[in-house]
Amino acid sequence: MTVPVAIVTGGARGIGQSITARLLDDGYAVGVIDVNAKALAALAPEVDARGGRLSAHEASVSDRSAVQAVVDELLAVHGSLDAVVNNAGMTLPATFLDQDDADWDRIVDVNLKGTFVVAQLAARQMVEQGRGSIVNISSVSAHGVRTGPPAYAAAKAGVEGLSRLMAVQLGPLGVRVNTIVVGTTATPWLLGRKSDDELDAMRATTLTGRIGDPDDIAATVAFLCSDASRHIVGQMISVSGGQWMP
């Protein structure tokens, strides 16, 4: 029986870790790309438990040669590449008036260039196969829903524009591209940095009265990677509790 194969970037932590777990539970072989060596090391027991269906790769998504090496390894082991989730991202605190060039370049490099690099290398293989699904992760920050560093908002808006172009050019070749616009989500990073009052204020910005859970994002990713969404392409799906509505 052929096992579908996926890449999840930033897949060792937070939302990415939930996406990885969900795709594994759905029967995928998953290659995780992450720059956090400690988080990747923590996956070791899961790597052993999954019997070869999970592999961990320390690499930057903006490093073309490193990403290509991961793609080549997965193809050598599994023979195909069926889904890619561009989840890796980073940000640094700043306002429009104090964002510096170095931080701008770093944030855009990971969030936007990294999405381009991973998607392009994966898409070349998918076009050759005649099938594949790419899911890019954006943020409500691209739509002015919450304040933050301008580089992050700009990069995520760029991801959405890139996703549309990818959908138009790759759809006729058998590769579906969709975008998930993520709202405030209860990752360990967020919960460890916000007070109860701050979390309550975040809940009040949603229509559901709750902060998103990483599993909410993972479930949507799983749907978009599956044949159940075979007629969905070029869409932005907001998983934000109504913080932003397309």
SS3 content of the chain, % helix, strand, coil (to 5): 50, 15, 35
Which CATH number goes with the domain that contains 194?
Answer: 3.40.50.720
Over residues 156-213, the pLDDT tens digits come to 999 999 999 999 999 999 999 999 999 999 998 888 888 999 999 999 999 999 999 9
**Residue 246 domain-assigned (yes or no):** no
**Residue 245 domain-assigned (yes or no):** no
If one counts the domains in the chain, the total is: 1
pLDDT averaged over every residue in the chain: 96
What are the residue numbers of the active site? 152
CA torsion angle 102 104 109 115 (round to 10): 170
Question: Looking at the predicted structure, is the pLDDT value of residue 110 above 90?
Answer: yes
Adjacent-strand bridge partners of 180: 137, 237
Question: Looking at the predicted structure, is the pLDDT value of residue 148 above 90?
Answer: no
Domain that holds residue 91: 5-239
**Residue 244 domain-assigned (yes or no):** no
**Among 6-20, 22-36, 63-77, 189-203, where is mean pLDDT lowest?**
189-203
Over residues 47-81, the pLDDT tens digits come to 999 989 999 999 999 999 999 999 999 999 999 99
